[in-house]
Amino acid sequence: QVQLVESGGGLVQAGDSLTLSCAASRRTFGMGWFRQAPGKEREFVAAITWSVGSTYYADSVKGRFSISRDNAKNTVSLQMNSLKPEDTAVYYCAAANRYCSGAGCYRSDTYNYWGQGTQVTVSS
């Protein structure tokens, strides 16, 4: 079992930056961030593999968000820049028991463990 604890959410204005962190109780093969806005389905945001550090991004955040990992602390961070009101959502950290590559890293069913979520609200 893996416990995931997210932190860093909050209320910001459009154009601001925010960093989310996810602390895992142990290392897995990959970590991802997903988000869910009210009335919408959960969607992929970004992912990173622990071993190689390969990164994957949704088109909607590419160039604005950056995912990184700290191997020593088993922590993954999501740096979010140039935030937009449409980025408003509950952000969830997820961990995978198996290595993912390519399209597999974008799928929510690739991930076995989920955090409780942290709210990000971007005002216009």
If 0-12 CB within 10 Å is exposed, 13-18 middle and 19+ buried, where does residue 49 land?
Answer: buried
pLDDT tens digits for range 14-29: 999 999 999 999 988 9
pLDDT for the residue numbered 67:
97
pLDDT tens digits for range 2-58: 999 999 999 999 999 999 999 999 988 999 999 999 999 999 999 999 888 899 999
Split at pLDDT 50, 70, 90, the class of 99 is confident
Q: 65-70 and 113-114: which strand pairing?
A: unpaired
* DSSP letters spanning 47-73: EEETTT--EEE-TTTTTTEEEEEETTT
Point out which residues pair with 44 in neighbouring strands: 34
Are 9 and 119 contacting, i.e. CB atoms less than 8 angstroms apart?
yes
